[in-house]
Structure 1
């Protein structure tokens, strides 16, 4: 058997390693080794169930392999800590470098189908993503707080950042009140319409075109509820304004004393927060 290292992250509290294993008869598998504080055995079982459901529904999702004891993972020891290994069919392809209008439409179509399938059964996941709002590790809230403190100590336009954070608190409050009533599911595709590197120009107008293509694809498989439509503008506005790279850029500008550009970026963030997309 031949093994090739595909991905390697080995930090103190986060291990994510992927090997491609190819057997002598040409079959290929992805072997994923992971050890962190947020992945549980129950999560791995739930992931395997989702993979099976999506595959049976016609989505090109690699199937997880099961052990003889019917578990879709193996328990290992990695540098003295518990780790898991999962094995799945190898799916050929390459990582996306640039997004085009057809691909964002396909992202929307697939995500809509995934969400539609997921409503047919309940799978509980105990772990939380740091990109999930209102969890124990809400990175957006942490980044927003860090930036607020830095702005208050800088020479940035006070009127701008006070208006920005007043909007931030208003939208956060609205989302928090409705969060538990909403279906769970990733909304990354809507955000990527604006954030990903596109083969077309990076203008706001082109971002709107990509977003509309994403939503058209999504709605071919699942319609948004009225509650989802009511909060989607707030959610996208917050995500765009306080994206990690956006916050990091403003923090860097503060550090080097480029206050003019800090104010320009604050105006851009306010634009994102106020923008009303047609859903």
Structure 2
């Protein structure tokens, strides 16, 4: 299949290819005439792929290092083959970063601020949400519908109830969480939003001398409340990503936010919502909750519950 799809892009033969992923979506590294590319195929609506292409061109034209899908021989930027839609991304310059330094966090904050500044002024929209989304209703598991933060909260509540020991702590968590969620829900639709890449994290970036040289992977791009993605990425980078350096997570977080705001200053309304959004994202990020549930199941949940309350209190 790879050889067949690549014929739409090149008359030269593929000299080497390696399948990197073959579950749900096909991802292969391919070499043609000494140049490296990533061929990506998945089951997506044509309209969404066309939106991705339009979005990458928009960001690239604005000077951001978004990799734009390559054109085929006849000028298209995607190929339909074998029930999948394929795009081809040329491999960027630089390297992936496994262990962040403070300079990397600042650079990501800066780039996300630039992306959001463009997103807040363009009329372009995907028409679908992202995996960061909140208040989608959880009626389906479709991106933009389900609310991962709320699902983590509900999973946490269910497991604490089953354990049956921490009734007072559980009541406090419920009250704090629901109070903050209510304040956010009241203003959510009025907060600045726009189209975003949806996963601007180190595994989708290339760096060269601490500067971001390439952004790739757009399969979960969509429309999002900009502050939601900003704080979500900040929490991930500061508390959940491998880091090398002496700075505390709090210092990393503030360095990221300062870099973001240098490119896109937050409005007064957004600033008012930061404590509420930070508290529920920090307390109920899925991987933190997964770890906490294991502690609760093994009778070691008191400290985790106390920390959760502390985070929600702010």
* TM bracket (short chain): 0.7 to 0.9
Q: Is the 8 A contact 1:30 1:87 kept in 2?
A: yes
Partners of 1:86 and 1:271 lie apart in 2 by: 46
Per-residue deviation, residues 96-140 of structure 1 (Å, max 9, x unmatched): 211111010001100010011122312222333333111221122
Partners of 2:38 and 2:240 lie apart in 1 by: 29
What is the Cα deviation at residue 149 of structure 1?
Answer: 1.6
**Are 1:222 and 2:264 an aligned pair?**
yes
Counterpart selection for 1:189 from 220, 233, 255 = 233
Unpaired segments ≥5 residues, structure 1:
none
Partners of 1:8 and 1:73 lie apart in 2 by: 19
Q: Is the 8 A contact 2:20 2:29 kept in 1?
A: no
Unpaired segments ≥5 residues, structure 2:
1-13, 137-144, 194-225
Normalising by structure 1, report the TM-score: 0.84
Per-residue deviation, residues 208-251 of structure 1 (Å, max 9, x unmatched): 11111111111121110111111122112111111111111122
Aligned Cα root-mean-square deviation (Å): 2.1
**Are 1:46 and 2:91 an aligned pair?**
no
Counterpart selection for 1:5 from 10, 18, 21 = 18
Residues 5, 145 of structure 1: alpha-carbon distance in 2 compared, 3 angstrom cutoff: same
Residues 16, 92 of structure 1: alpha-carbon distance in 2 compared, 3 angstrom cutoff: farther
Counterpart selection for 1:262 from 290, 301, 312 = 301
Normalising by structure 2, report the TM-score: 0.75
Partners of 2:276 and 2:87 lie apart in 1 by: 37
What is the Cα deviation at residue 3 of structure 1?
Answer: 3.9
Q: How many residues align?
A: 257
Counterpart position of 1:120: 121
Partners of 2:71 and 2:40 lie apart in 1 by: 14
Counterpart selection for 1:211 from 238, 243, 253 = 253
Counterpart position of 1:72: 77
Counterpart position of 1:271: 310
Partners of 1:206 and 1:268 lie apart in 2 by: 17
Q: Is the 8 A contact 1:45 1:71 kept in 2?
A: no
Pairs within 5 Å for 1:108-257: 108-135=109-136, 136-184=145-193, 185=226, 186-187=229-230, 188-191=232-235, 192-200=237-245, 206-256=248-298
Greater shift in the superposed pair: 155-164 or 262-271: 155-164
Counterpart position of 2:38: 30
Partners of 1:166 and 1:200 lie apart in 2 by: 37
